[in-house]
Amino acid sequence: MLRFRFMAEAKLQVIPLGGLGEFGMNCLALRYGDDIIVIDAGMMFPDAELMGVDSVIPEFTYLTDNREHVRALILTHGHEDHIGAVPFLLSELDIPVYGTAFTLALVERRLDEHEMLENVNLNVVECGQKVELGCFTVEFIQVTHSILQAAAVAITTPIGVVMHTGDFKVDPTPTDNLLFDLHTFADYGKRGVLLLLSDSTNADRPGYTESERAVYPRLDEIFTRADNRIVVSCFSSSIHRIQQLLDLAKVHGRKVAFLGRSMSEVTEIAHNLGLLHIPDDTLLRPQDIQSMRRDRVCVIVSGTQGEPMSAFSRVAVDNHKNLSVESGDTVVLSSRIIPGNEKAIFRTLNHFARRNVNLIYGSMNPPVHVSGHASAEELKLVLNLVRPKYFMPIHGEYRQMATHAKHAQHMHYSGLEQTFVLETGETLEIDKRGARKGEQVPVGRVCIDSGTIDEFVDDIVIRDRRHLAEDGFVLPIIAINKHSGLPETLPEIVTRGFISDEDGSTLMQNARQVVAKTLESSSAEERGDWGVMQEKIRADLKRFLTKATSRRPLIMPVILEV
């Protein structure tokens, strides 16, 4: 009797630990009584000022403080902003993980990097399947997105149904012919949905997001017109896009090579699962690209965001061992330009333009890229189907979530009582008396250094201070002639807190030679690109100093143009 009374008085808590008011780090907990489930555990890539940080993940203090109540981790799909923090969460909590086959295959890749694969409980589910987790029943529902096997989840709780869309768009003609399951959404809407949590990434875009098939005519035109080599950069997780490129290559008599570690690994995973179909006699080894006739080759490359050492960036500065683009080749950027990455991407495209290639990117009709997120009319369609009592936008910056909330408010459908625009750390509480904002929970960002789960850094300032205190500071100063791109003199190296001048004179002389050698071995085009040269100098000098001293000073190359 006491147990029944406790459950009747318990409240449902919605606890965002990341991903609200920001892009990335998507992670949300649902709690009812003594049961907690977690939906997604994503990462975000660091801002430029977070030097030395590889990735940023949510702080999991709330979950670790309540570890005995956490029943499972539910994954909606396999993008890094939804699964990138899984190894770090599982290093803290021994809980089962549920997701579709492709999603968990991508998680396995990450867990293998952290040598955790043998110690985790991964459970493959199919859309339409239900899982019992404490007082929750979770059903996976098929949605369309820019990645394979994305799912929404409907969570039946003791006081009603919560629907979490994950990332989605309503694609009427997906390339794999697996449609968005509007019927199940409508079914739940008829039965009654307590709360809808819905993707807001494109809430400020009017109309409908174009189907993935919309890029086919433009890609077909490119294959038809290209007289020489075709180089396409897209996200390695965009298997739909890659499948279209493979099919077009077969039609136009071209062989396809994959360049970049993530591109090779993810396409291999998709192929092994039977989700990527490679036509017979189409695949080309990277080392055979240069020996093939240029009009018989298509190369698919990772590195769409202009990351300095990615395959796409290295090809752009003619520093890739397997591919050297030439005048008349066609280079296509078939991906979104993520806000904040514009400089790096356009710098890379400028390098390609200097090589006199046919450069294709950006907005055009027909498009060379379409978004994977729902625009305003699709968001309204989902709201109309689900007709929730309460609505809370998720996934996006605050302005997008606020816009999504206004879409719901302006629809005036019967049954909507209230919308809530929350930020990470703010909570929503629902019981039989209604819904309201609850108490805040501890949240934050954890910076990850060197890709190991041992090197958590809770605050960037603490990380920098600790780094400087333990290993010191090395400042290579290089003066480069703006006309010739050559160094004016031997590089100078300034150190603080790393090694004394008396002890380090020989070491510093050798370090100067390392920097000079890096400059000499770089092409004139690389020397003209400060971002590339800073990364190369930092990597080479870090390798030398770590080997020579077993220490890892903070290295900040300074390039002066004279």
Q: Which of 81, 171, 199, 540 is catalytic?
A: 199
Residue 553 to residue 555: CA distance in whole angstroms = 6
Q: Is 199 a catalytic residue?
A: yes
Residue 125 to residue 98: CA distance in whole angstroms = 7
Strands 35-39 and 27-32: antiparallel
Q: What is the DSSP string of 82-115?
A: HHTTHHHHHHH---EEEE-HHHHHHHHHHHHHTT
ω into residue 16 within 30 of 0, thus cis?
no
Residue with tokens 């062989």: 255
Q: What tokens were used for 157?
A: 């709780």
Q: 10 Å Cβ neighbour count for 83?
A: 26
Q: What is the DSSP string of 195-252?
A: EEEEE-TTTTS-S-PPPGGGGHHHHHHHHHH--S-EEEE--TT-HHHHHHHHHHHHHT
Residue with tokens 């080759």: 297
Residue with tokens 């949905």: 193
Contact yes or no for 77/46 (Cβ under 8 A): no
Q: 562: Cβ–Cβ under 8 A, 6 or more apart, which residues? A: 479, 480, 481, 482, 488
Q: Which of 164, 320, 373, 404 is catalytic?
A: 373
Per-residue b or e along 14-49, where b marks 16 or more CB atoms closer than 10 Å to that residue's CB: bbbbbbbbbbbbbbbbbbbbebbbbbbbbbbbbeee
DSSP state of 128: T
* Nearest partner of 233 among 360, 82, 48, judged by Cα: 360
Q: Is 410 a catalytic residue?
A: no
Residue 444 to residue 61: CA distance in whole angstroms = 9
* Nearest partner of 298 among 372, 244, 366, judged by Cα: 244
Distance (Å) of CA 469 to CA 92, 373, 516: 28, 45, 28
Residue 423 to residue 113: CA distance in whole angstroms = 32
Taking the CA atoms of the chain, what radius of gyration do you get in angstroms?
A: 26
- 10 Å CB burial of residue 466 (0-12, 13-18, 19+) is exposed
DSSP state of 38: E
Q: 10 Å Cβ neighbour count for 291?
A: 9
Find residue 493's DSSP bridge partners. Answer: 476
Residue 213 to residue 172: CA distance in whole angstroms = 10
Q: What tokens were used for 150?
A: 């994305």
Question: What is the set of active-site residues?
Answer: 199, 373
